[in-house]
Amino acid sequence: DGRRFSGTPGDAAHHAAAPLDAARIRTRFPPEPNGYLHIGHAKSICLNFGLARDYGGACHLRFDDTNPEKEELEYVNAIKEMVQWLGWSWGDHLFEASSYFDFMYAAAEALVNAGLAYVDEQSAEDMRANRGDFGRPGVDSPFRNRSAEENLARLREMRDGRHADGAMVLRAKIDMASPNINLRDPTLYRIKHAEHHATGNTWCIYPMYTFAHPIEDALERITHSICTLEFEDQRPFYDWLLNQLADLGLLARPLPQQIEFGRLNLNYVVTSKRKLRQLVEDKHVSGWDDPRMPTLVGLRRRGFTPASIRAMVEATGASKQNAWIDDTVLDQALRADLEPQAPRAFAVLQPLKLKLTNYTEVFGSAEHREPCEVAAHPHKPELGLRRFSLGPELWIEAEDFMETPVKGYFRLFPGNKVRLKAGYVIECTGAEKDADGQVTAVLATVIPDTKSGTPGADSVKVKGVIGWVGAHEAVVAEVRLYERLFTEPQPDAGGRDFLAFVNPHSLRVVQGFVEPSLAGAAADQRWQFERHGYFVTDRVDHRADKPVFNKITGLKDSFAK
Ligand code: ATP
Ligand code: MG
Ligand code: MG
């Protein structure tokens, strides 16, 4: 699947370079397949694939699988699917970092032979203590000045499984007094007797990320190795390593350049695979694709479009600052994408019965159905008409009736007239109540000859227009109303226990009614429910005969949460 190369280390650089096309710039997105991608990864994806697209280059999808952890095929597949869902393609540039293990080991031996690396047998504590810290130079290891021959012998013992985990490591020999702690003889290889999903038990030593990553970039002839800001202090080592290997004839110039960009962080969520996994494992959410999760699978299931995610990521630009983006920015991008294209529909989420008491009188029979129609989209005639019908009983939104209206309320109250959108003007005459005085139905009369789209439509002026669904044809639907997953904008700031800020009210499920044009809807379709916001049929649970809608976002920002 991923591209693997074999061959002797000497011509490995040639081997890796040979099959590549002549792209002018070459970037890569290098996820570790140990979890699902989140909104922060979308930033990296769009940046890397976007640069390649804009400058006639290529972007590699590289699975960074140098850790001998069990790789889950589930994650690999989900990562590929999400990169494609966002609209990008890696073409035939699919790579697996573990396929470079032979080269990496040969590079390690070459560094040892050149006196640029040594095997250190200090304990982990001594190594840490002797590294020094900011303002205090490190202390040379007693093993630092062994001969190349002795180091090579030790390294081969490490490779051959003659030593236990942690007994010794291979370190670069640079400068224990460097002001940059990353240059104080960083570790290149560690012993780990662990099986690797791709290489099995071939190896019991594994390269450190800081050693492996520059080599992966160089072998793939990456030009711009884009990473997040926390790697800035690693850049001198990145350059040191690649230049040494090029001088030793193992790598070809020009070498890749590491370039750092700010992380994208979203308010009211956490973006760390470890923390997201905790939310899943502790069952705060239903899974990685729970519509409240900032994972790409979660955002997709919630109803966010790839275009809205790309627009949001692009709006944040590529800066040298870690950006905290308000979650409303994502909602605005979604509205901007859907407003011009999503068909409209009536949905009643807190239903109250409305009875038209003069229906038979006006239409001749209680069985009569008066056809009504309205444009699916106010500015897109090509989307056609929505058709539904009026009957003697309707469902309306409970908040569209007030027995005693507050000032400025123009909807239903006794004595007031409103228009049933795409239907008739009606006049409220009262309400039915149960023994507790709760309103069980609103009563109204139809005013004849006021149907929308007919000459008499303007004969009665009203201030209020309400949505409705005929009780005889309403489609029962489960509607999932989401709010923020956390009650705090930065739930994990300062190492706090982010689980303490999980919003217990982030999901509310109601049973509502939607208009008949939505009967039989497919999954993953979006509408604007008039007055309520944007909704999508759930891609997992929705069935044509058992509809499930997710609320993506409201029609405008609501800060009263
Ligand atoms: P996490 O900390 O969530 O596990 P990670 O950085 O370890 O994320 P990787 O799979 O190693 O996850 O990331 C792949 C790429 O995505 C890396 O190049 C990384 O820099 C980038 N990336 C990860 N998170 C963000 C973010 N919040 N903003 C921008 N880029 C990110
Ligand atoms: Mg990582
Ligand atoms: Mg990480």
Provide mean pLDDT across the span 413-435. Answer: 98
Question: How far is Cα 240 from Cα 244, in angstroms, rounded to an integer?
Answer: 6
- CB of 30 closer than 6 A to ligand 1? yes
- CB of 223 closer than 6 A to ligand 1? no
How much is the pLDDT for 558?
60
Per residue in 43-84, pLDDT (tens digit) is: 999 999 999 999 999 999 999 999 998 778 899 999 999 999
- CB of 40 closer than 6 A to ligand 1? yes
Collapsed DSSP state (helix, strand, coil) of residue 466 = strand
- CB of 48 closer than 6 A to ligand 1? no
Residue 370 falls in the annotated catalytic set: no
How much is the pLDDT for 320?
80
Smallest CA separation from ligand 1 atom 2, residue: 272
- The H-or-E segment that residue 14 falls in is helix 12-17
Pairing assessment for the beta strands 323-325 and 257-261 based on DSSP bridges: unpaired
- The H-or-E segment that residue 273 falls in is helix 273-281
Question: From the alpha carbon of 263, which atom of ligand 1 is closest?
Answer: 28
Nearest CA-CA partner of 293 in 328, 267, 266, 269: 269
Pocket test for ligand 1, best of 29, 39, 41 (most atoms within 8 A of CB): 41
* pLDDT band (50, 70, 90) for residue 315: confident
Residue 28 falls in the annotated catalytic set: no
Q: Is the ipTM of this complex over 0.90?
A: yes
Provide mean pLDDT across the span 508-515. Answer: 98
Catalytic residue among 3, 32, 81, 121: 32
Which class is 348-467 in CATH?
mainly beta
Catalytic residue among 80, 156, 192, 263: 263
The CATH 2.40.240.10 domain(s) of the chain lie at: 338-342+476-553, 348-467
What's the half-sphere exposure (Cβ side, CA atoms, 13 Å) at 28?
28
- CB of 343 closer than 6 A to ligand 1? no
Burial class (CB in 10 A: 0-12, 13-18, 19+), 254: exposed
| pLDDT-wise least confident of 8-12, 129-133, 182-186 | 8-12
Burial class (CB in 10 A: 0-12, 13-18, 19+), 28: buried
How much is the pLDDT for 321?
79
Residue 108 confidence (pLDDT) above 50: yes
What does pTM read for this prediction?
0.92
**Could you say which DSSP state residue 449 is in?**
T
Pocket test for ligand 1, best of 28, 34, 36, 44 (most atoms within 8 A of CB): 44
Would you say how long the chain is, in residues?
A: 561
Question: From the alpha carbon of 261, which atom of ligand 1 is closest?
Answer: 29
Question: How far is Cα 299 from Cα 282, in angstroms, rounded to an integer?
Answer: 20
- CB of 26 closer than 6 A to ligand 1? no
Per residue in 165-199, pLDDT (tens digit) is: 999 999 999 999 999 999 999 999 999 999 999 99
How much is the pLDDT for 17?
43
Residue 421 falls in the annotated catalytic set: no
Per residue in 251-270, pLDDT (tens digit) is: 999 999 999 999 999 999 99
Backbone angles phi, psi at 94, to 5 degrees: -115, 125
Ligand 1 midpoint to CA 405 (Å): 53
Residue 487 confidence (pLDDT) above 50: yes
Inter-CA distances, 377 with 227, 356, 530, Å: 43, 28, 11
Residue 4 confidence (pLDDT) above 70: no
Which CATH number applies to 338-342+476-553: 2.40.240.10, 1.20.1260.10, 2.130.10.10, 1.20.210.10? Answer: 2.40.240.10
Per residue in 281-299, pLDDT (tens digit) is: 999 999 999 999 999 999 9
Ligand 1 midpoint to CA 31 (Å): 7
- CB of 228 closer than 6 A to ligand 1? yes
Cis peptide bond N-terminal to 254, omega within 30 = yes
Mean pLDDT of the residues in the chain: 94
Q: Which ligand is nearest to the CA of 271?
A: 1
- CB of 32 closer than 6 A to ligand 1? yes
Nearest CA-CA partner of 396 in 437, 426, 368: 426
Smallest CA separation from ligand 1 atom 4, residue: 273
